[in-house]
Every structure is written in C-alpha cells, then in structure tokens.
Chain A
C-alpha cells in the first residue's frame, strides 16, 4: 500500500524544499519514494539540480521525481483521445480537433487526470506531492468531488455534461472516486501544512485547512518553516524574533496536530547532498547547515526612484500596472505601495486582487469585497477582489438572463444551467471579470495584485486560446456575425496588454536561486505571449549586519544573487528592504512607498 504525502501552504513558505527533504528522508529510510510536482511553475529540477520534467526520472537511490507539466499532460491526453483517429479522418477535421484541445479547460482536466493516475498507483511505497499553491490545490481537490457528482447527475438527467473530453476516458468516475477515498483515508494520506511564522501565512493555512477538512481530509502535520534562530540576531531584526514567537504560539493554538519547527539556514538548500544533510536536521534534530557565503562586492546597480516614475507615467486615458511574481515574494505589498502612492499623487486608482485570501485587505487594513470600494485612509484609492466563486455565479446568472431574454425554452435553459455547472466555467468567469475591470475606463491607474505566476499566465493565455476558439467556431459555421463581438473584445484586451504605453508589467522576486530562475521562466513565458516585463523589484533585501555570522552569510548570499538576477533579467531593478515588522496598515505601507519612490 502506498502512502501519500501532500504539501500544502502559501507560495514561498518553502513547500517544495520541505517536500523534497521529506522525500529524501523517506528514500533514505529504505522506502521507494516518488516526488511529484503539480505546480505549473515547478522548481523540483532546481532543487535537485537536475532536469526533471514530464516523466519519472531517478534522482537518488530509492528516489524518483516527476513534474506534471500541464502542457505535456495535455499532449499525452490529446494523443489518448485523437491518436486513434490520425490517418483515418481527413486533415481539416483533425485540425479542428487539435485546436479544441488548446482550451484552458482541457489543460486543467489533463493535468488533473494525470494527478489522479498517481493517487491510485501502488508502485511506490511513498508518493510525495509537492502541490501547487493552496487555492489551486483546493480546486484540484474539489474537482474530483464535483466531477463524480457531475457525472452521476448527468447520467441520471439529460446525459449532457461538459466533460466531453473526460467522458471519453473509460472508467473515469471510478478512478476519481478512488482518488478521493485515498485522500480521505488517514492511514494512507497525510497533509503537511507548511507555513512561516507570519500572520498571512497562518491565515492562509487556516483557510486551506478549513476547506480541506470540509472535503473530509483528516490527517495533518504542521511544519513551521523559516524560523530565524534566536542566537543569530544581534541587535538588528529583534522585533522579528518577538513577532515570530507570538506567531508560533498562535499556530500551536490553531492546529491541534503534531508539529515540527524548522529553522532558516544561513545558506541555501540545493542539491541532493545538501538536502540529505538538511533532512537529518529536520527529522533527526541538529544544528545548522554549514554552507556559508563569502563576502563579495555589494550589488550597486539598483535603478533610481525616477526610473520607476518613468515606467509608470500615464500616456493614455489610463494605465494598467500588473504586479506579477511567485506567491510569497511580496507582490501584494508592492502592489499596495504602488497603488497607494499613485492615488496620493492625485490619480484615481483601482487596486484589484485575484488572490482568494485578499491579502491587500491586511496590508491596507481595510475590508476588501468583490465590488469596487473606496479605501477610507487614502482618497482616490479604490480596491476590489475578483472572487472566483462569486464571478462564476455572476457569469452564470448573466448567461441565463441573456438566454431568457432571447426567448429560449425552459428545457433549453435547464440544459444550459447544467452545462454551466462544469469546472471550465470558472476559468471563463474569472477571465470575464478580469477583462471587464481592465476595460473599465473610469480609473487613471488600475493596479493588479495578481495570483501566482502559473495562474497569471493561464489567465493571460486564455484570451489567445479563446480568440482562436471563437475564430474556429466562426470558420466551422461559416457565419461571421454571432461571435464577432466577443472576438473583438478579446483582441482589444490582448493588444492592450502588449502595449507598453497602456500596460506595465512589474515582476517581484527575492534574491535567491530558485525564485530568480522561476521569475526568469515566467519572464520568458510572458515574452512568448508578446508581453515585455518592464522592471523587476527585489524584495526582502537585508542590510549589512556584521555582528551576526548568520545574517552576514545571508547578506552575502543575497548580494551574490542580486548580481545573478541582474545578469538574468537585464531590466531596471528596484529594491524593497526587509522590514522587521509585517506591513499592516498605511503607516507601515508608507515605508515601502519610500523605498520605491523616495520620500514625498
């Protein structure tokens, strides 16, 4: 019988590192172990210092790894469905068929299908899932329940289901049901909730835990990661130590489960030998890894405050600013600081988040809802959250109202309702909302605090695929009229996103190996989509702290990686230093503004 270990937590808490460490620990105890990443922006390869990709490779004795690449999963899945037709059906039919597999829903379904394959696999003693960021994980986990319900209901009802592609896989329902019961079986499955001793991290974990418990998942273990060792602090960052003590206490109160404290290391954790040493510290107890970064010349090429001003100058009626980056790098704080300063300078500014936990509310210390609301503390600043669940409801209601107006029959509307229950609807709905807000012309600036990179890319990729799909429908029908509106809207949005006079992309990262290379990948992906990122923001920059060996090593590491980042990105780089308090409320947000823009 296989054991399944899931790692859940906000982006940037060290989920992948903890998953890799746990996998190595299990493999070294003689268990045949597989580690799988379902994150679209997986960094397993970076951690093991070996290309992994969409197939099982062996990385150490007893240890195997694989990254579920949604695109490759789609390819596999497409082959499964249309492979048998190739050479039999005419060329133009095959072309239409292939095009259809490029839709966002198919990609999601395909990645998920691959994921459930492993949940019913008994070939390994232990399978470690380095899961995608929490929101995504939950959606993946919710899907099997929704889907098997969906399949059941539609087989009772009209037999209609939007699971077109899934319905062509025999025995899908049984597989999904088995996947769910495996996840609920406490003897087989354990969820590791990884968090940092920080307020937002704990809040996210509580939210994830609530949702998972509702899904019937019972077996948890807590990992508190990135604790700064008390003896490392010498004068500086004392407040962080006090705050983290309180947070560790709250974590203990919030979760009545076994927990493990893991300390921040003075160097980086990379490569199998390093991970092995770290796994001994984590699982057998022990001190610090002895990787110490030596001093180099400090990085001196940060761009000036004026350069940021220039990038943000409004040239048209309004400017869209998209702040992107991996979860946990401080996108939210950066987006809030940008929006707040723009508003203070007299611009009517809208700040939008797609983050389900709406961290902008915590940073601004105000309530964020899914309608555009003026912020009390700063005049001219408005904020809204794209609530996935709610936008799905709005989207459904809109389509149903339109159909009623068009005079469709009751039976028809019932059928439509059922189609709209499909998981694909969510992607479409969020995109609708995204494009509606981006197109809203009432604001001088619209700042997006977007969801993690992979998700952002999917959101951005959607219009292209979507336009293609719409186009295809037109070709099939030979009737250009009925889709032209939808198509025009999409083309306009895509053109706007590519226009530097209209839209600025800023990428936030922190100067460590994995975050830099992840950021580079997403930069390249955006470039492929025709979008040039205009600047990067390095976050959590340490001041020099010569009295502490620990912080000196971390400082040297950052300085080294700032130079690496500069070589990789070749873009103007701005900085936000590490503050010894969490950014919560406008007074503290002011500190960040001053980092980016200088004093007012």
Chain B
C-alpha cells in the first residue's frame, strides 16, 4: 500500500514552520504519522524542492497543467489519483486503503476531527 502526496510549493517539507500554522497541514501530518504506524508507505513531495521527481510523474503534471495551483495538493493511492485540490482526511484514506482507522494510540488532532 502506497500513498503519495504532492504538496503545493511550501517553504519546508511539512509547511509547519510559520507562526500561524494551517490546521489542514497539521491534520495531514498526523494522518501520515498514523498511517506509517499502520505500515503504509507514505511519500510526500514539495513542488519547490522535489521538482525533479514531480516532473516525471505524468498524472501529476497533467493535473497541474489543467488546473494550475488549484490542483494542489494531489493525493495518489497505489498509483491512482485519489484527490486533487484538497487534503484527504485520515478516515477517507483508511477507507480507500481498506484498513481500520487506529482506535488507540491515535494522534489527538485525529481523535477530535
């Protein structure tokens, strides 16, 4: 099982370094941490620093060319585009991957949401 996330250009790989942090980015980060605990491979690409990898991904480039910046972020599940323009939630990802969401040992932001 493999999840790839193509972020919009951000100053750092998680986008979590500014003074006012976007809650969506925090939720995404926590979702990734939970999925990794469950043995899912998650790779994250930032347009600014990982361009070399991104430009070779035809699916991503097609979406970016079609809708521009609005197409980002793009989530790809096992090679298929799952969501574009918005981050998926942890539950959505679990559902699509066919795994049970964690009940215990789950990051707090995911418990609230």
Nearest CB of chain A from residue B60's CB, rounded to whole Å? 11
A164-B10 contact in complex given A412-B30, A470-B20, C-beta closer than 8 Å: yes
Check A164 against B69 for contact (C-beta < 8 Å).
Answer: no
Check A92 against B13 for contact (C-beta < 8 Å).
Answer: no
- Let me know if B39 is at the binding interface, CB within 8 A: no
Which of A164, A410, A420, A432 contacts B48, CB < 8 Å?
A: A164
Which of A163, A409, A416, A477 contacts B107, CB < 8 Å?
A: A409
Nearest CB of chain B from residue A476's CB, rounded to whole Å? 6
Which of A90, A164, A415, A476 contacts B46, CB < 8 Å?
A: A164
Which of B18, B51, B55, B112 contacts A407, CB < 8 Å?
A: B112
Nearest CB of chain B from residue A139's CB, rounded to whole Å? 18
Chain B 35-79 interface residues, beta-carbon cutoff 8 Å to A: 46-51, 55, 64-65, 68-69, 72
A473 to B12, CA, bound (A): 13
Please, could you name 28 A-B residue pairs with CB atoms under 8 Å apart, sorted by A? A82-B51, A88-B55, A91-B68, A92-B68, A93-B47, A96-B69, A97-B47, A100-B11, A105-B11, A160-B14, A162-B17, A164-B46, A168-B49, A399-B19, A403-B21, A408-B30, A408-B108, A409-B108, A410-B107, A419-B12, A420-B17, A432-B19, A470-B20, A473-B22, A476-B69, A477-B22, A479-B22, A485-B20
User: Which chain A positions have C-beta within 8 A of B12?
Assistant: 160-164, 419, 422
- Secondary structure at chain B's binding surface: helix, strand, loop or mixed? loop
Nearest CB of chain A from residue B76's CB, rounded to whole Å? 18
Interface bits A152-176 vs B (CB < 8 Å: 1, else 0):
0000000111111101100000000
Q: Count the A residues whose beta carbon is within 8 Å of the partner chain — how many?
A: 53
A420 to B9, CA, bound (A): 19
- Let me know if A62 is at the binding interface, CB within 8 A: no
A476 to B9, CA, bound (A): 10
A161 to B44, CA, bound (A): 13
**CB within 8 Å: A-B pair count:** 125
Check A419 against B17 for contact (C-beta < 8 Å).
Answer: yes
A164 to B47, CA, bound (A): 10
User: Which chain B positions have C-beta within 8 A of A163?
Assistant: 12
A411-B68 contact in complex given A160-B12, A165-B49, A168-B48, C-beta closer than 8 Å: no
User: Which chain B positions have C-beta within 8 A of A420?
Assistant: 17
Nearest CB of chain B from residue A481's CB, rounded to whole Å? 10
User: Which chain A positions have C-beta within 8 A of B14?
Assistant: 160, 415, 419
User: Which chain A positions have C-beta within 8 A of B17?
Assistant: 162, 419-420, 422, 424-425
Nearest CB of chain A from residue B37's CB, rounded to whole Å? 9
- Let me know if A85 is at the binding interface, CB within 8 A: yes
- Let me know if A89 is at the binding interface, CB within 8 A: yes
Check B64 against A90 for contact (C-beta < 8 Å).
Answer: yes
Nearest CB of chain A from residue B110's CB, rounded to whole Å? 8
Check B19 against A428 for contact (C-beta < 8 Å).
Answer: yes
Chain A interface (Cβ < 8 Å from any Cβ of B): 81-82, 84-85, 88-93, 95-97, 100, 103, 105-106, 159-165, 167-168, 399, 403, 407-412, 415-416, 419-420, 422, 424-425, 428, 432, 469-470, 473, 476-477, 479, 482-483, 485-486
- Let me know if B98 is at the binding interface, CB within 8 A: no
Check A160 against B69 for contact (C-beta < 8 Å).
Answer: no
Interface bits B71-113 vs A (CB < 8 Å: 1, else 0):
0100000000000000000000000000000000001111010
User: Which chain A positions have C-beta within 8 A of B51?
Assistant: 81-82, 84-85, 168
Q: Given contact pairs A91-B68, A419-B14, A469-B18, enumerate 20 new A-B contacts (beta carbons under 8 Å).
A: A81-B48, A89-B47, A90-B68, A97-B47, A100-B10, A100-B11, A160-B12, A160-B14, A162-B12, A163-B12, A164-B48, A411-B33, A411-B107, A412-B109, A415-B29, A419-B16, A419-B17, A425-B17, A482-B22, A482-B23
- Secondary structure at chain A's binding surface: helix, strand, loop or mixed? helix
Check A103 against B11 for contact (C-beta < 8 Å).
Answer: yes
Closest residue of chain B to A420 (Cβ to Cβ) is B17
A105 to B48, CA, bound (A): 15
Closest residue of chain B to A154 (Cβ to Cβ) is B13
Closest residue of chain B to A105 (Cβ to Cβ) is B11
Which of B20, B48, B109 contacts A408, CB < 8 Å?
A: B109
Closest residue of chain A to B50 (Cβ to Cβ) is A168
Closest residue of chain B to A98 (Cβ to Cβ) is B9
Check A482 against B19 for contact (C-beta < 8 Å).
Answer: no
Check A482 against B20 for contact (C-beta < 8 Å).
Answer: yes
User: Which chain B positions have C-beta within 8 A of A469?
Assistant: 18
User: Which chain A positions have C-beta within 8 A of B33?
Assistant: 409, 411-412, 415
A229 to B109, CA, bound (A): 71
Check A412 against B107 for contact (C-beta < 8 Å).
Answer: yes
Residue of B29, B65, B72, B112 with most partner-chain A CB within 10 A:
B29
Which of B10, B20, B64 contacts A486, CB < 8 Å?
A: B20
Check A409 against B109 for contact (C-beta < 8 Å).
Answer: yes
Nearest CB of chain A from residue B96's CB, rounded to whole Å? 22
A85 to B70, CA, bound (A): 18
A95 to B48, CA, bound (A): 12
Check B108 against A165 for contact (C-beta < 8 Å).
Answer: no
Listed from nearest, the 4 A-B pairs whose CB atoms lie closest are A409-B107, A162-B12, A92-B68, A419-B17
